[in-house]
Structure 1
Amino acid sequence: MIGRLLSERYKILKYLGGGMSSVYLAEDIILDRNVVVKMIKVDAHDEEKSRLRFQREVQSTIQLSHPNIVNVLDVDETEEYQLLVTEVVDGPTLKQYIKENHPISIEESVNLAVQILDGIEHAHTRGIIHRDIKPQNILLDGENRVRITDFGIAKALSETRMTETNQVMGSVQYISPEQAKGQNTDERTDIYSFGIVLFELLTGEVPFSGETPVSVALKQISEKLPEIDDYRKIPQGLKNIILKCTEKNPADRYRHVDMILEDLRKYDTIDTPYMHSDAEDGSTIQTGKINPVPKVPGPSEDPAAGPPEKKKSRWLWLIPLLFMLAAAGLGAYMMFTQEDEVTALIMPDFQGISLEAAEAGLAEHQLEMGEVIEEYNDTFEAGEVVETRPRSGVTVEFGTAVDFIVSAGEEPFVMLDFTGENFSDIQEQLNEINFNRIDLTEAYSDSEPGTVLSQSIGPGEEIRPDEHNLQLEVSRGVEPVEIVNYAGEPYETARDELEQNGFNVTVSQELYSEDVEQGAVISQDPSYGSFLPGSTINLVVSIGPEPPQNMLYSTTVNIPYGEEEDADEDDEENPPKTVNIHVEDANNPDIDEVFETFEITEDTTHTVRLEIEPGETGAFMVEVDGEEVIDEEIPYEE
């Protein structure tokens, strides 16, 4: 059931428990919130009618909106179940709270009682009777506020799968006498149950208990309430309220909840013991002085007894019949002939109890143990009865052999093989399997990071996940490799070692180096550290010392104009003379060729530039009008 999606909306997360229904925590995937889903199976023999009755009864509870009532959010159905969806109340049941905090102070007990009554009154004024008031159906939220749940379920079920057998609803320790006898009920049945709850709230104990549900039901019908003072001294006003709420005759109880609330407000002002009126003769007697139930008399043979005695005999004959009706209300219905001879019974309901308890119940009802069949079941604990054959509610003869379908617990989960899967892809699936705990360890491998390498529970093993821890070894990916600095090492050595460790090697630069011999590594990037194989390592490799460079020579020479020729005094400047410059260097091998020519009219300075190769000599020559005036050689200098 875990992980199942109901009504395309409610994803089942966790089993919470059972009673009248199977209760699950679920996620409302539409509104993105957690809810409680109660799954209730209706009578398969009158399915359509049962569904309609259920829908009618439970739909009415949606109108209940009160701080002390758990909100019903939705009513739906599947092919198998009726669904009741309620809000989640984060807190204990009143049953748990009493167990953990007893004794609870008078003031707090009264406060809780008032809240319970406020919730019940809200429902009663809208025509809704709970019929299953008990501490297990009363929750306390984070603010210690009372929240009553399961309004309408008891009536809905009593009109569906339980009508034919007159099965009584509610927990037997809290049901009213009229419920135990299978009689009609009204709001006073909730008042009786509230009185039992208040008794337990103040004393920490339930007033009636027994070895079997039948014996407890008989006490609800016939026995007086135990003396409260034997458990705890409480104000007389509170004792009076409990006693009036738990009167055996509904007519002697409070008629409406608001009457209880009124008495609760003034409980500390009352010191007079409670007196109740006998419904038979109208006389007033002290509470608890009810005479024991007389034994059934034999047939009267006294003719003088007359009609009145016969009437009395008929009344006495009804008393054990009421006991039998109480047993019937709990699944052991006795069928009588007109002569009062017991011939058969209604098959009791053993669902949810242990096989040992069921076996004792068979003996109690004069039935025989038949075949015991174990089946996996995720609703009932291992060893609990799932169903019987014949089924509960049918008429069976005494001595009938009853076969039991007994839960073997949840069906074992066949372990899957998660190796090779990425953990992120299977994480949600693992959470749904609901292991007790999942532990992860990481290890380097050639697999992608997150890949499951191994698992502690082998594929195919049958397990109960919630009883096992699962250890998964997950890949961290390839282990990083530490590199060394290869500066000064031969390039081939660096390349071979790096490639052997899975790195890519590139020569990013080749540079001259005076210090690193040719073919050796000058530097690398990255220079050191741990890196994943497949990373690229860039090397700078030496190509040896840089060879000598051409010498660039530059000199400024003074080119003389020479003697001035005769000219007229009126001439403003000398006539121009032609200057030819010849160069011999790396770029001009023939000095006979004119490198540059220009004219001058006076002494002129000029810069001559040469590029001289290593070991060579450069030269230049300057001619003015064909006459050599400068001739120089320049040797190469480093």
Structure 2
Amino acid sequence: MASTLTDSLVGRLVDGRYKVDSRIARGGMATVYLATDRRLDRQVALKVMHAHLADGASGADFVSRFRREARAAARLTHPGLVAVFDQGVDGETSYLTMEYVDGTNLRRRLHEDGPFAVGEALQVVGEVLDALAAAHRQNLVHRDIKPENVLLSTDGRVKVADFGLARAVTEVTSTTTGTILGTVAYLGPELISTGACDTRTDVYAVGIMLFEMLTGRQPFVGETPIQVAFQHVNDDVPVPSTVVPWLPAEIDELVCALAARAPEDRPHDAPAALVHLRRVMALLPPDVLGRRADAPPPVVSFAQGTPDDTDAPSSVGEIDKIDEIRVGGDTDEADGPVRGAGATDHLTQALDTRASGSTIAFTLPDRDRLAPATGTAPAVSTSPTAPVDADRPGRDRRRPRRRTLVSVVSILLILGALGGGAFWWFGYGPGSFTSVPTGLAGSTLEDAEARLDAAALLHESVEAFHDTVPAGEVISTDPGDGERIPKDGTVELTVSSGIEHFVVPGGLVGASVGDARASLSSVGFTAVTESGEWNLDHPEGTVLGLSVVEGESLPHNTPVVLAVSKGPEPVVVPQVQSLTLDEATEQLEPWTLAPVVVEEYSETVPEGKVISQAPEQGSAALRGDEVTLKVSLGMPFVEVPDVLFTPVAEARTILEDAGFKVEVNYFMGFLGNEVRSQSEAPGTEVRKGSTITLDL
């Protein structure tokens, strides 16, 4: 993997933990590096926000957006989403760490290999929708689905990257600032024209991406981004078979459903879209699934980037290549708001200044819609009627009146026939329409079908998991409540299968917390948390137990709490010096500190008492640590000198210098001067300080 050798961050240790190895990619908001987490000894992708974005009046907004990305993404746990591990600030460096995915992205794959086989394209899109479903269930919208943000790992996994644009749907729909973030080639029409955005906007982008994977080109192309934006707003996405004629009608219907121009015509979220896709895959024969379109001739399009937009093949998506479309609030101080055709000119001029990449920034003042400027059609004038020839008195002047009357009657008859035909066509014929009954969502499938039967409408049902709608009840209808539908039309009912259940995997107790989390996430559990416990017997990070039973089938959103070892508990070493060994052992026992006894002689500390301890009193230690105790053996033993036949004064001095006490017994009470015997035989070892008696 290539890296930029001049990058000053390469080789640094960020926040005392992440060793920066090389640079992976650089975008408009941040740079991504390959780094090593020295604490957990694993490779991570380190995303560092550009320092200059934190400067100035808007710097706080950039920092807040960057940190919001970490919080939003960390809420998502799904094997198809790039995981966010950590977020922090090191000096002026704001960073977050993500899962490192070794591989390439979908943009580079399209550039190098051309269109996908039908089955492979549907499989990849299905995994993208499955990953988005985890976000949509938590009311989060990605807002920037594109091939650069779909990662294809070397082990075959598909992962969706860069939830930096995600924010809660309720926040998006209530926003009044008009800020739109996204990439022009994949933006939904509603996002361009009104700034509205919900889960269906992600579905639209997936539909555009599927079109590109099947045909090798985007549905809307142009030399400038304004041309592409106009087409998104004003034109329906063409069916893929107009580019690849052998593609079946099922593929055309799927792409047109996902990328319908009106949001209400699309599946309402990723889970519903996934149901459509899987149904189409089941209908297609193997020979179609294995067929691939020929690579199309190159088409110049402002909207499509190249795989070389970054420093190196991106394994974490095209980071922060964001288009910003601001709708409303911008005015010209001299001339007032730019509206109508002026808004289009203003938009075109802004876009032309950014024609060097795949991202744009432009302004649509006061939510002016994207539409071509229209002019007034030239007036059509007619020449005056020729005057009646007054020189022909015999001419019948009533003939023009009769002609006029005949013309009027003919016109009335034609209009009547047309009106009658239209009345029959729209009232009773094939063109007649009715409305979908309201209130089907929330009713049981049987009730909904009965009401549709009463309305003479056909119906079909598909099942989808749902966290809040009980099993057997209708989640949504297509078309929706009250919408117009041909009288012989079909209403699709999406019926809840209840909350999706998964089986708790086994072997979690004793595993590392990272492995346990990955195992639960790969199965589908979405509410995994941790509870730390001090433990002497298991290393830090080991799973000690969990709040659910392994092998049990539970709803995917069941809270699963992992009891995780924090290792031995820190303690403070108590004072045991000068105590007896038994007393010292009793003092250490409540702190689970193990005494290690070392005995030695001491002339100052009585036998059996602690001379010194290590660690010393007040030192930090962990439960289970050893404390070395030096225990006194009492006075040392010394050899008794030979003082026989030595004058008593000299003998006394020799013995006292050796550390003994001396007592003298005189012969007959007072006679004698030399030592005739001593109580301890010369050469024996006696404790220092013992008393030796001399007989004279």
Instruction: Identify the structure with the greater strand proportion.
Output: 1
User: Normalised by the shorter chain, which TM-score bucket?
Assistant: 0.3 to 0.5
Higher Cα radius of gyration: 1
Tell me: higher relative CO, structure 1 or 2? Use CA pairs within 8 A at least 6 residues apart. Answer: 2
